[in-house]
Amino acid sequence: MLEIVTDSPAQTEELGRRIAQKLGGGEVLALFGGMGMGKTAFTRGLADGLGISSGVSSPTFALVNEYHGRLTVYHFDMFRVDSWDDLYSTGFFDYLDTEAVLVIEWSENIEGALPPDAIRIEIAAGKTEQERVFQIEGIEP
Ligand SMILES: Nc1ncnc2c1ncn2[C@@H]1O[C@H](COP(=O)(O)OP(=O)(O)OP(=O)(O)O)[C@@H](O)[C@H]1O
Ligand SMILES: [Mg+2]
């Protein structure tokens, strides 16, 4: 497990960009951390690192956004998902075991459905307004 502290949204995006370079396709990135912790900022950087430069926002109503760059990314928001039926309807299981990268905001809500080899990224508040503490398991940025 690796701990990285960022001090601005730009630094969080940069971390996402660095992790993007390590992806080969087929990974599940499970993001944990409450509202405003920077899950979408991180995903924006990750997408940018894959050559996807616009359109990344919390897929709160769509539940999933799809982006195409060096790899295909399915970006989920599980904030409102609280049953297996809900989870099935996001398409999550259809995209597992494909060459796509799955990025999952609010992974807390689907903990039991995460594959055992998911890359886990937990974000917590730091000591200042702008600090975010990332705990990363399963990949080295
Ligand atoms: N170090 C930092 N990293 C990322 N965001 C930061 C940081 N410091 C401050 N912020 C601010 O925190 C907010 C992060 O928003 P973002 O949408 O990425 O969070 P989120 O975790 O996706 O929230 P939600 O659960 O509502 O989707 C932004 O307003 C951003 O400006
Ligand atoms: Mg978000």
How far apart, in whole angstroms, are the C-alpha atoms of residue 92 and residue 131?
Answer: 31
User: pTM of the predicted model, to two decimals?
Assistant: 0.97
Task: Say yes or no: CB of residue 126 within 6 Å of ligand 1.
Answer: no
Cα end-to-end span (Å), the chain: 11
27-72 pLDDT, tens digit each: 999 999 999 999 999 999 999 999 998 889 887 777 899 999 999 9
Task: Say yes or no: CB of residue 35 within 6 Å of ligand 1.
Answer: yes
Task: Say yes or no: CB of residue 105 within 6 Å of ligand 1.
Answer: yes
The minimum-distance atom of ligand 1 relative to the CA of 132 is: 1
The minimum-distance atom of ligand 1 relative to the CA of 43 is: 18
Predicted local distance difference test score (pLDDT) of residue 62: 73
Tokens representing 18 are 């660095």
